[in-house]
């Protein structure tokens, strides 16, 4: 069985199928050294899980380059705890700034409209949501590039361009210029959202990913809630341009930190560099990486670019999760746009104070995150000890996510309509935050556990569709609430969320069958 796990080709819907997934939890790694005999060049089960690609058969080949033993410090799985968490921390910092910018600018839209003489409400909504549309399209290019050229260079280049485009937003002289550079900033800022899951898969085995996923996801779920608070006070005190200057300072600092302290985590890239170094040192040009796919860089990039599209079109499990993500993410951004209206018009808050209404959503996000953090890895380890581990074991909280969110939407909408004390709708929004975390954390963990080395492509496929929902659904918000009011308007959203619960049950209960019944070749 061990030999089977080391030589089988990974060409199903996910790189690590059910047998490989269980083997990685139950069999100790076998010795692996570079340029050695066949017994020494085989992948360990942990590396099967991490690399998730078909390796070249090293049987009797002294030219094969592999890790220098189980404890090779070059293998990201063997890095020190401090080095692993430094890389995760830097990526998490970027993933906090990028979603923060999506909503931080919202309180300053009225100032922008006044300065540029714009009264078109659709245009005012577009200047906020166009950034999220950029987040949707960027992963289609950035995620594949990370699977060809490595994670580090992808982060570095996108961070630099993100900072440049944020500066361009700060100095914009008209609405069109601001919209264009907001879109470009969103495209560049999508890199950590699309690639971060792959970085975590590079560094941690499946039973240790829960805490890393929690830290990484904290930014995307808390950023949209914290942004309006900071943006409201900042725009009121210094004007809307200073929102972008603050984001520039923050992103610039993280970019420098990433270039200095972060390291490449992608196994294929690390072994490619090792192979080239050994070729230069020994003069033996026949040396090749065990993860060398035997095709040109152009062909590798071509396959990587179409991989997210293939997952979006032909993987039923990805399609189901993406549709659910579109709904949940769209609802999140839709209710975010109602907070200023509700708390300024109904409760008489100033533009700065109204930003504090987002605290409820942020607190709910943190509570949901804590529940996932303290339960997911423990449950995964328990299932592994029983020999029953599979990717669907990340999903139990998913089953109650839409019910909790729907309850929060009912609470928030009807309490706002009834003009109850302002704390009541804020408590309702906190339930929406808890439900969102119960949804996004399991989905993220599931994609990483299922696709490992192709996690970036799986995340890109999910991010593209959910960001389109986050960008477009809020555009329908003003008319919906004008027609239905906050009570029935939010109830419609709540009913939609709860109606998706059966689909989530199907994913949890029959996910294994769906993944193996309709495989997609990702090689």
Average pLDDT over residues 95-109: 85
Q: Are residues 395 and 459 in the same domain?
A: yes
Interval 325-373: pLDDT, tens: 888 888 887 887 778 778 877 888 876 677 778 888 888 988 998 898 8
Report whether 54 contacts 10 (CB < 8 A).
yes
Together in a domain, 57 and 121 = no
How far apart (Å, rounded) are the C-alpha atoms in residues 486 and 480? 9
Predicted confidence at residue 61, as pLDDT, reads: 67
Q: Give the least confident one: 69-73, 291-295, 306-310, 485-489.
A: 291-295
Q: Of 11, 36, 65, at which residue does a domain stop? A: 65
Contact of 243 with 105, CB cutoff 8 Å: yes
Same-domain pairing of 389 and 442:
yes
Q: CATH no. for residue 462?
A: 1.20.1250.20
Q: Please give the pLDDT value at position 76.
A: 94
In the predicted structure, residue 169 carries a pLDDT above the cut 50: yes
> Residue 290 domain-assigned?
no
Domain tally for the chain?
2
Contact 194, 142 (CB under 8 A): yes
If asked whether residues 405 and 259 sit together in one domain, one would say: yes
Residue 121 lies in a domain: yes
Q: Does 395 or 54 have the greater pLDDT score?
A: 395
Kindly report, residue by residue over 441-464, the tens digit of the pLDDT: 899 888 888 887 677 778 778 877
Give the mean pLDDT of 502-523: 84
My answer on whether 20 and 103 are in the same domain is no
Residues 41 and 87 in one domain: no
179's CB contacts (< 8 A; 6+ apart) are 126, 127, 130
Q: CB count, 10 Å around CB of 327?
A: 22
**Angle, nearest 10°, between helix axes 81-104 and 175-203?**
160
Out of 48-52, 59-63, 305-309, least confident range: 48-52
379 assigned to some structural domain? yes
**pLDDT above 90: residue 11:** no
Give the residue among 507, 248, 238, 257 at the shortest CA–CA distance from 395. 507
Q: How far is CA 289 from the centre of its chain?
A: 29
**What H or E segment, with its residue span, contains residue 462?**
helix 455-472
Domain boundary among 37, 65, 93: 65
Residue 179, pLDDT score: 93
| The pLDDT of residue 381 is above 70 | yes
**Judgement on whether residues 33 and 172 belong to the same structural domain of the protein:** no
pLDDT band, residue 523 (cuts 50/70/90)? low
496 near 341, Cβ under 8 Å? no
- Give yes or no: residues 26 and 109 share one domain: no
Residues β-bridged to residue 288: 64
Q: Is residue 391 part of a domain?
A: yes
Over the range 151-161, which residues count as b (16 or more CB within 10 Å of their CB) and which as e? bbebbbebbbb
Between 41 and 473, the more confident residue is 473
Mean pLDDT (the chain) is 81
Among the residue ranges 55-59, 230-234, 456-460, 511-515, the one predicted with the least confidence is 55-59
Helices 109-116 and 121-137, axial angle in degrees (round to 10): 120
What range does the domain containing 423 cover? Answer: 81-264+301-517
Answer whether residue 57 shows pLDDT above 60. no
Assess contact for 196 and 95: CB atoms under 8 A. yes
| Average of per-residue pLDDT across 49-72 | 65
Give the least confident one: 117-121, 184-188, 241-245, 288-292: 117-121
Q: Is residue 111 part of a domain?
A: yes
pLDDT at 23: 31
DSSP 225-280: HHHHHHHHHHHHHH-THHHHHHHHHHHHHHHHHHHHH-----HHHHHHHHHHHHHH
Q: Is residue 33 part of a domain?
A: yes
Asked if residue 173 has pLDDT above 70, the reply is yes
Same domain, 173 and 237: yes
The pLDDT score that the predictor gives to residue 209 is 83
Q: Are residues 384 and 475 in the same domain?
A: yes
Domain C-terminal end among 41, 65, 89: 65
First to last CA, the chain: 23
Please check the confidence at residue 319 and state whether its pLDDT lies above 70.
Answer: yes
Structural domain includes residue 275: no
Question: Poorest-confidence range of 33-37, 305-309, 317-321, 440-444?
Answer: 33-37
Give the separation between CA 324 and CA 458, rounded to whole angstroms.
15
168 φ/ψ angles, rounded to the nearest 5 degrees: -60, -35
Task: Please list the residues that pair with 289 across neighbouring strands.
Answer: 65
Range of 47-56, 333-342, 445-454, 488-497 with top mean pLDDT: 488-497
Query: Measuring CA to CA, how many Å separate 81 from each of 85, 151, 166, 204, 214?
Result: 6, 19, 33, 10, 16
Q: How far apart are CA 241 and CA 316, in angstroms?
A: 44
Q: Is the pLDDT of residue 5 over 60?
A: no
- The widest CA-to-CA distance across the chain, in whole angstroms, is 79
Name every residue whose Cβ is closer than 8 Å to that of residue 41 and which is 6 or more positions away in sequence: 32, 33, 34, 35, 58, 61, 64, 66, 290
Rounded distance between C-alpha atoms, residue 344 and residue 358, angstroms: 13
pLDDT of 500 higher than 70: yes
Residue 146 scores a pLDDT above 70: yes
Per-residue pLDDT averaged across 299-309, rounded? 82
pLDDT of residue 291: 83
Are 38 and 157 found together in one domain?
no
Q: What is the pLDDT of residue 336?
A: 75
Are 125 and 59 in the same domain? no
Looking at residue 153, its pLDDT comes to 93
Q: Within a domain: residue 103?
A: yes
């Amino acid at each position: 069985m061990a030999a089977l796990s080391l030589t089988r080709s990974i060409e199903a819907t996910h790189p690590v199928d059910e047998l490989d997934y269980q083997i990685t939890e139950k069999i100790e790694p076998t010795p692996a050294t570079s340029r050695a005999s066949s017994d020494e060049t085989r992948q360990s089960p942990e590396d099967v899980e991490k690399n998730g690609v078909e390796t070249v058969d090293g049987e009797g080949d002294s030219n094969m380059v592999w890790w220098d033993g189980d404890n090779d410090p070059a293998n990201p799985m063997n890095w020190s705890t401090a080095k692993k968490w430094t890389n995760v921390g830097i990526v998490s910092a970027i993933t906090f700034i990028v979603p923060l910018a999506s909503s931080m600018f919202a309180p300053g839209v009225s100032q922008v409209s006044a300065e540029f003489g714009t009264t078109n409400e659709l245009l005012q909504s577009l200047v906020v949501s166009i950034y999220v549309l950029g987040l949707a399209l960027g992963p289609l290019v950035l995620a594949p590039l990370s699977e060809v050229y490595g994670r580090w260079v992808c982060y570095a280049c996108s961070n630099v361009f993100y900072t440049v485009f944020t500066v361009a937003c700060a100095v914009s002289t008209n609405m069109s210029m601001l919209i264009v550079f907001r879109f470009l900033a969103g495209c560049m800022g999508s890199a950590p959202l699309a690639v971060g899951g792959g970085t975590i898969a590079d560094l941690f085995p499946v039973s240790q990913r829960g805490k890393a996923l929690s830290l990484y996801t904290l930014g995307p779920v808390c950023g949209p809630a914290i942004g309006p608070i900071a943006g409201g006070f900042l725009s009121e005190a210094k004007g809307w341009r200073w929102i972008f200057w603050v984001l520039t300072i923050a992103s610039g600092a993280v970019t420098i930190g990433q270039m200095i302290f972060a390291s490449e985590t992608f196994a294929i890239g690390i072994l490619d560099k090792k192979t080239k170094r050994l070729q230069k040192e020994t003069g033996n040009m026949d040396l090749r990486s065990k993860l060398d796919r035997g095709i040109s860089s152009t062909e590798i990039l071509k396959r990587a670019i179409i991989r997210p599209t293939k997952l979006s079109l032909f993987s039923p499990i990805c399609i189901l999760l993406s549709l659910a993500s579109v709904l949940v993410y769209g609802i999140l951004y839709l209710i975010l746009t109602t907070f200023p209206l509700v708390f300024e018009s109904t409760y008489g808050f100033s533009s700065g104070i109204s930003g504090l209404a987002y605290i409820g959503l942020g607190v709910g996000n943190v509570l949901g995150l804590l529940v996932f953090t303290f339960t997911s890895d423990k449950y995964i380890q328990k299932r592994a000890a029983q020999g029953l581990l599979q990717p669907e074991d990340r999903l139990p909280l998913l089953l109650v996510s839409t019910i909790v969110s729907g309850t929060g939407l009912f609470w928030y909408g009807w309490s706002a309509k009834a003009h109850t004390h302002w704390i009541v709708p804020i408590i309702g929004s906190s339930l929406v935050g808890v439900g969102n975390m119960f949804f996004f954390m399991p989905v993220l963990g599931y994609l990483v556990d299922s696709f490992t080395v192709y996690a970036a492509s799986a995340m890109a496929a999910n991010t593209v569709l959910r960001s389109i929902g986050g960008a477009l659904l809020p555009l329908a918000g003003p008319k919906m609430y004008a027609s239905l009011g906050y009570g029935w308007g939010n109830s419609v959203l709540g009913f939609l969320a709860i109606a998706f619960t059966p689909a989530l049950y199907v994913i949890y209960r029959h996910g294994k069958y769906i993944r193996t019944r309709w495989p997609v070749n990702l090689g």
